[in-house]
Structure 1
């Protein structure tokens, strides 16, 4: 029993260390706030709960069945990176083009309500802004070690569930109280942070795209050599 507990804790720490820097809920808080301008605090927190729930399901699905789904449809992880990278980069570019005076395409024109928040919870707030192709690729890799021999079939999934639960809680806290987190920066600081975050999002999308494209082109390069 102690061995199972120790391995579960070790597995939890490994997954958290791999996923949190990529998902980066504190860094996503300004983006979440920008895209939910005009929403009440209650609606925003409701949306944050939905995003946290969707993110946990998406991560668990990627860990436990993601590789089998991709194999069934004949889709490589590199292709997922290319498509997802393009999607993330397009969102970052659109946010960079947002006019501060009017906040077009930033959520202010939306008549926010719980049904509207629920309809937008998965796209774009869960995927690709919270759980993107990078974190899905990491989850797929981590999932490869979930089913092992001995006692690990019990301990590894337990550690994965605990890690995803912790990630979901952090996502909810950062998104649900994004107004308070960003409010500490002030109006000017918030504007600067939003622009920088949008630019970083654009760069992340290009980096993910290039990583997937490099994986796809590598066999051709090696063949020519």
Structure 2
């Protein structure tokens, strides 16, 4: 039993090291604030908790059943990246078009009622802003690597659950206290940071699209010498 736990701990560290830089919860905090303009602190706390839960379910599903679902529908990883890249880029573009508004003139609290917050918690706040196609593609790969065709029937679920719990906690804390971190920058600094985060989101979407398009076009491109 101790040997299983040791291997599970090592695999958990592998999963965290691979996914944490891609998900980047602190970097997503400004995007979360921009996407939830007009929401009350209580609503943002609810959204942070729900996003963390949704992200956990999405990553675990990608690790253990995602490859079977994609194989069943005949969807390649390149197609996932192209579609997801376009989706991320479109969200980044919309955020860039958002007009600067003082806090008092932001959207009314009624615009972020609990039913609306519950609907938006998964799309777009969890997918693709928190867990995007890049994270899902990595989770699919890690699932194949850690589970190894069922050779670790007990250790794999333990390592995956431990790693995803750590990632979910990082997402929750980053989003739950995003306003406190951004508040230190002031209104002007916050607007600059939010615009920069939106532009980075747009660039990330284009990069994901380019990567996926390269995979899909590779069979028709001449070999490089």
What's the TM-score, normalizing by structure 1?
0.93
Give the corresponding residue for 1:147: 147
Measure, in 2, the Cα distance between the counterparts of 1:31 and 1:223: 40
Where 2:145 maps in the other structure, the secondary structure is: coil
The alpha carbon displacement at 1:186 in A equals 1.4
What is the aligned residue count?
Answer: 222
Give the corresponding residue for 1:191: 191
Where 1:37 maps in the other structure, the secondary structure is: coil
Alpha-carbon contact 1:146-1:153 (below 8 Å) kept: no
The alpha carbon displacement at 1:11 in A equals 0.6
Per mean C-alpha deviation after superposition, the further-off stretch among 45-54 and 31-40 is 31-40
- Which of structure 1's runs of 4+ aligned residues deviate more than 3 A? 148-151, 222-225
Alpha-carbon contact 1:12-1:163 (below 8 Å) kept: yes
Give the corresponding residue for 2:35: 35
Give the corresponding residue for 1:216: 216
Give the corresponding residue for 2:91: 91
The alpha carbon displacement at 1:152 in A equals 2.4
Quote the RMSD (CA, aligned, Å): 2.0
Measure, in 1, the Cα distance between the counterparts of 2:61 and 2:28: 22
Would you say 1:52 and 2:52 are equivalent positions? yes
Per mean C-alpha deviation after superposition, the further-off stretch among 151-160 and 46-55 is 151-160
Instruction: Describe the superposition over 1:28-74 as per-residue Cα deviations: whole angstroms up to 9, x where unpaired.
Output: 11111111122111111011111110100000000000000001011
For 1:48-127, list aligned pairs within 5 A: 48-101=48-101, 108=107, 111-127=111-127
The gaps in structure 2 that reach 5 residues or longer are: none
What's the TM-score, normalizing by structure 2?
0.93
The alpha carbon displacement at 1:102 in A equals 7.7
Distance 1:124-1:149 versus aligned 2 partners, 3 A rule = closer
